[in-house]
Structure 1
Amino acid sequence: MNKNSESDSRSRLPPGQHLTKKFPVLQKGRIQHIDRDEYKLEVVGQVKKPQTFTLEELRELKNREVICDIHCVTGWSKFDAKWEGISFKKLFEIVQPKETANFLEFNCADGGFTTTVALEKVISEKNILALRYDGVALGDKHGGPVRAVIPDLYFYKSAKWITKINFLKEDNLGYWERGGYSNKADPWKEQRYRRND
């Protein structure tokens, strides 16, 4: 590695993180398997047009490819992860959030995992509902068929196996946040735990 690439790596690596070329697999419980033919994504709550999407309908909406760095609260970071999916902006155009919508709550297939993210944190074009990783359909271990990718936050905010997105007026602490993890989850501020919020 030359000095320029070392400097680039350091500038992309948040404090307390180490770089890995692998993609470690971590989750609350077991890796979930969801039948792709039966899959449905509900989008409900503070929206004008609630929707239920099949996986095929989501594939037809696919409009974004992002290459981003991801940072896990456990301390690893991976550079240049390649994802394809649907921008949240596109989703918002379809469901039309009400003015009272302030947060997105992701509900997942692994029995009780939820996390919330403020709408203003989600709207960036680099944030997507991912359907593909590294050129192939998103596999079970990485949260398929559908997961969030929100690279500016620690990766527990990028929920796996999403089955419902609930637009909320008020924040609602998710699984890890109730256990003491930060609800803000900014890796550049090392907001790993709620005491650092």
Structure 2
Amino acid sequence: MKGWLERLRKGYGRKLVMLHAWNGWLVVILALSGLLLLGGFWRGVLGEGRVWLKTLHIAVGIASVVPIAYYLALAGKHWKQLRGKRWQKFNVYVVLGFLVGWLLSGLLLWQFKLVGPRVSNVALIAHDVLTWMGLPYIIYHSITRAKWLKDPKRRTVQSEASSVDDLHPAAPQPVYTRRAFIRGAIGAGLAVTIGPSFMKWLGESMGGAGGSGSIDKLIASNSNELLPAPQPMPASSPPIGGGAQGSFRVYTVTPIPSFSNANWSLRVDGLVDQPLEWDWEQFVKLKRTVQVSDFHCVTGWSVYSNTWEGIPVKEMLEMAGVQKKAVSAIFHSGDGVYTSGITLEQLAKDDAMIAVMHDGKPIPSDLGGPVRLIVPKMYAYKSVKWLSRIELIEGEHIGYWEQRGYANEAWV
């Protein structure tokens, strides 16, 4: 072990340069892949490629163990070189902190089923915060340490130094070097471009705690126009769950559709004794029940204590009459693209619901309204938004995301 460390330290300078380059490329790849995974537009464009991109993101994240361990092996030698250089020592601490934080939170997100929703939810927030803070810091550090900024011939803004003796005037003194100016400009640019987005994200995250901030914004931007509005049951208003805790993140693979009385209906057909179809006025008259449940996304975030109001799936299927050879149900989205398949055995649970209200208010379009499926014990990619049709079939249906690599068994 000592011999290995000694060999590492002998080639310290060259290895440290390689280490910085390795770290730089890791951050670039992780940043680009992470932003693509986050963007709603790219979710639809990438299709199955999103699953491969997620795998790449995880693999590169795990690979960051190598430069971290390598740096720690060189730490003793490097620390001697930084004696008296407080800013550079601080920078080492910060960059290592970001790398270790990304690694640990990323590992928890990767193993979301093992650690459970509450741990993965905290890990996702930590991962986001580290990204919002770490990415601009590392960009700034990388640019301002570039060779062209260290040019000894860089220009300076000079001051006219006064002298008591006019015969021996003092030499002009630099007030602001080009390097300092560009560093300041880069820092200001990053603050202006990234700062507002970070503050918006922070405000939505803080406002969503307790269910008031982001939910109200989604309701305010609701594009659906259906009348009459469903009237909440006493258990929904005020919500018996106390109000949803957390913030919904709006993901979609298509542009968000909008509905009115003229273009909305819900059908139950396929292997049923009596195909059924409701328009909006008929649907809101159906008897509804209320449940309190948590909502878990496979990407790591959760919203707790949601009060949903709607019709249990098993009751709706009983109205249509399920034929003996029926095994599964295909849930079709009103966007015309998204589907998901769930077995009738899984749908027999009491909390599988066709929901029309959330916390005593109509479900907004961004959240999948006017009507969406809710299966609380499964990850949310099974809970189809903008539900328009339930089709009973003999075999198993592989839905939109399941075709693109997600597990067909989506139990939390």
The one of 2, 6, 14 aligned to 2:117: 14
Report the TM-score, using the length of structure 1 for normalisation: 0.84
Say which one has the larger Rg.
2
* C-alpha spacing 1:23/1:62, structure 2 compared with 1 (3 Å): farther
* C-alpha spacing 1:112/1:39, structure 2 compared with 1 (3 Å): same
Q: How does 1:65-144 map to 2 (within 5 A)?
A: 65-144=290-369
Cα deviation, residue 56, structure 1 = 2.1
Any idea what the Cα deviations from partners look like across 1:17-64, whole Å, max 9, x if unmatched?
215711111121221111134311111101001011112222111321
Q: Which runs of 4+ in 1 moved over 6 A?
A: none
Match of 1:7 in 2: none
CA distance, structure 2, for counterparts of residue 17 and residue 166 of structure 1: 34
**Structure 1 unmatched ranges of 5 or more:** 1-11, 188-197
Contact persistence 1:64–1:128 (CA under 8 A) = no
CA distance, structure 2, for counterparts of residue 95 and residue 126 of structure 1: 19
Q: As a proportion of its length, which structure holds more helix? A: 2
The letter for the 2-side match of 1:172 is H
CA distance, structure 1, for counterparts of residue 266 and residue 289 of structure 2: 18
The one of 269, 272, 275 aligned to 1:47: 272
The letter for the 1-side match of 2:289 is R
Aligned residues between the structures: 176
Does 2:379 match 1:163? Answer: no
CA distance, structure 1, for counterparts of residue 343 and residue 401 of structure 2: 16
Cα deviation, residue 171, structure 1 = 0.8
Does 2:132 match 1:29? Answer: no
The letter for the 1-side match of 2:332 is N
CA RMSD of aligned residues (A): 1.7
**Structure 2 unmatched ranges of 5 or more:** 1-114, 123-208, 210-245
Q: Tell me whether 59-68 or 96-105 shows the greater mean CA deviation.
A: 59-68
Report the TM-score, using the length of structure 2 for normalisation: 0.41
Match of 1:184 in 2: 409
Match of 1:147 in 2: 372
CA distance, structure 1, for counterparts of residue 359 and residue 249 of structure 2: 15
The letter for the 2-side match of 1:59 is V
